[in-house]
Amino acid sequence: MPSVHTDKAFEADLRELREKLLAMGAKVEALIADSMRALMERDTPLAEEVTSGDKEVNRLEVEIDDACRRILALRQPAASDLRLITTALKIVTDLERIGDLAVNIAERAKDLNQVPPLKPYVDIPRLSDLALQQVKKALDAFVSSDAAKAEEVLKADDHLDALYLKIFNELLGFMMEDSKNIRRATALMFIAKHLERIGDHATNVAEMVVYMVRGTDIRHPRSRNLPSGS
Amino acid sequence: MPSVHTDKAFEADLRELREKLLAMGAKVEALIADSMRALMERDTPLAEEVTSGDKEVNRLEVEIDDACRRILALRQPAASDLRLITTALKIVTDLERIGDLAVNIAERAKDLNQVPPLKPYVDIPRLSDLALQQVKKALDAFVSSDAAKAEEVLKADDHLDALYLKIFNELLGFMMEDSKNIRRATALMFIAKHLERIGDHATNVAEMVVYMVRGTDIRHPRSRNLPSGS
């Protein structure tokens, strides 16, 4: 039986892990918001900050992986604690990838900022808001071990997919209309695709949270692949 | 000190884990190859097989995750064994995602098979071959714990990125030339993007293998984000 001291040290380790994951989540959310502001407000210096800010996310990933391995080696957790650690190891991969996608959006914003805007952006910021909400909610579900909240994230993913498809088809229309629109519309198409992918990563996280809490794996009952425009 | 029996049982567990990962890798490689054949040979039934084949990949991910957690709980591995298990947990996430990307390619192929081809495909199958090689090599590096081979994967990623950019710009040219090309060129652009992303996942795996073997984390020294066309 572990001593009280060991239990306390273990709990401190887990608390630190949760805090690091929240810090990484907050940083990633800020990168998404900043990459969109860089696009909406045509702010190229801000786009460059996103690229450098992503380094912090990458550093946090390495730190969290190390923390997980240290806990596994020293504390040999079982049952729900083990599920928490192995889930954390996988969740950081999704968060890191979201950071990369924010950088991709910022890079596209930089290109777009050099030419006149194609049109006022309406649906793209809506898609970005939805994606950001999904990431926040999935991380909340993780830190509070709330499977019901994680399931809300899974349900809401269809809205993102539908909005992405609407944007995709609208941009296709702009491209058909005038070949001068093609380059800008393509860039916006990729931005929309990146936002839709951020939503998919939130879904991944949510699926893992349901597993972590309930101990049953619900991954892959549904396809994350769209029939078209994906 | 663990008994000989425990050692043997542990080794059997690790061997089984490696075998399952190789099976998952082989399945994923087959999906990439089939999705490209579905495109090149305009074979819609084959594209549909990719979608159903991906279910096998998803099933393997869940199995491997379970196997990793079981080993962690029962064997409490340390040092290099612990790194092997935690790496496996993260690698399957990349493999699963590669399976999803193959499905996305197959879905695009189905759309493209309904209309006359835009042009003979030359660079896209080259990109696909490169991506497939990268996945194979990264997995070989994992099962043989070969850091030098993993580093070859990291170096070769630039070739994929360059070829992707060439394809992207060529397709942009087709779109500018004739608005009738836009829909098909967009679909091909996304296929190329998916192949480039498959290469990125191989890079992720390779980075983790270097860490696993050397015990030092080399992730994130370089950006996986392209300056444009990404």
Question: Which residue in B65, B91, B94 has the most chain A C-beta atoms within 10 A of its own C-beta, making it the best mutation to test that interface?
Answer: B65
| B206: closest CA of chain A, how far (Å) | 14
**Which stretches in chain B have pLDDT values below 50?**
1, 222-230
Nearest chain A Cα to B68, which residue? A86
CB atoms A73 and B93 under 8 Å: no
Residue A173 CA to its chain's centroid (Å) = 29
What are the pLDDT digits (tens) for B159-169? Answer: 999 999 999 99
| A107 contact residues in B (CB cutoff 8 A) | 225-228, 230
C-alpha angle with apex A203: B82 to A145, nearest 5 degrees?
Answer: 65
Whether residue A4 is predicted with pLDDT greater than 60 in this model: the reply is: no
Torsion of CA B58, B59, B64, B66, to 10 degrees: 120
B79: which chain A residues are within 8 Å (Cβ-Cβ)? 73
Q: Which of A70-74, A92-96, A191-195, B214-218 has the lowest mean pLDDT?
A: B214-218
Indicate the average pLDDT of chain A. Answer: 91
Where is mean pLDDT largest: A74-83, A215-224, B159-168?
A: B159-168
pLDDT at A126: 97
Task: Name all domains of chain A by residue range, CATH numbers in brackets.
Answer: 4-214 (1.20.58.220)
Q: Is B18 exposed, middle or buried (0-12, 13-18, 19+ CB in 10 A)?
A: middle
pLDDT score recorded for residue B221: 54
Q: What is the pLDDT of residue A7?
A: 84
- C-alpha A227/C-alpha B114 separation (Å) is 14
Rounded Cα distance, A225 and A219, in Å: 14
> ipTM, 2 decimals?
0.86
Facing B86 at nearest CB: one of A68, A111, A217? A68
pLDDT-derived band at A211, boundaries 50, 70, 90: confident
Q: Categorize the per-residue pLDDT at A110 as very low, low, confident or very high, splitting at 50, 70 and 90.
A: very high
Please give the structure tokens belonging to residue A148.
């019901």
Q: Is pLDDT at A10 greater than 80 in this prediction? A: yes
Helix, strand, or coil here: B37? helix
Question: Which of A89, A186, A217 is opposite residue B172, by nearest beta carbon?
Answer: A186
For residue A73, the Cα-to-chain-centroid distance in whole angstroms is: 29
| Radius of gyration for chain A, computed over Cα atoms and rounded to the nearest angstrom | 20
CA distance B187 to chain A (A): 8
Across the range A101-122, mean pLDDT stands at 95
Query: Per residue in A157-208, pLDDT tens?
Result: 999 999 999 999 999 999 999 999 999 999 999 999 999 999 999 999 999 9
Q: What is the pLDDT of residue A107?
A: 97
pLDDT tier, A218 (very low <50, low <70, confident <90, very high otherwise): low
Q: What angle do CA B65, B94, A64 make, to 5 degrees?
A: 70
From residue B41, alpha-carbon distances to B45, B53, B112, B163, B194 in Å are: 11, 19, 11, 22, 19
Q: How far is CA A37 from CA A30, A32, A34, in A?
A: 10, 9, 5
A162 CB-side CA count, 13 A: 5
Which residues, other chains included, contact A7 with Cβ-Cβ below 8 Å and sequence gap of 6+?
Answer: none
pLDDT band of residue A228 (cuts 50, 70, 90) is: very low
- Tokens at A222, concatenated: 């549904």
Q: B116: burial class by Cβ within 10 Å (0-12, 13-18, 19+)?
A: exposed
- Give me B185's structure tokens: 């060129």
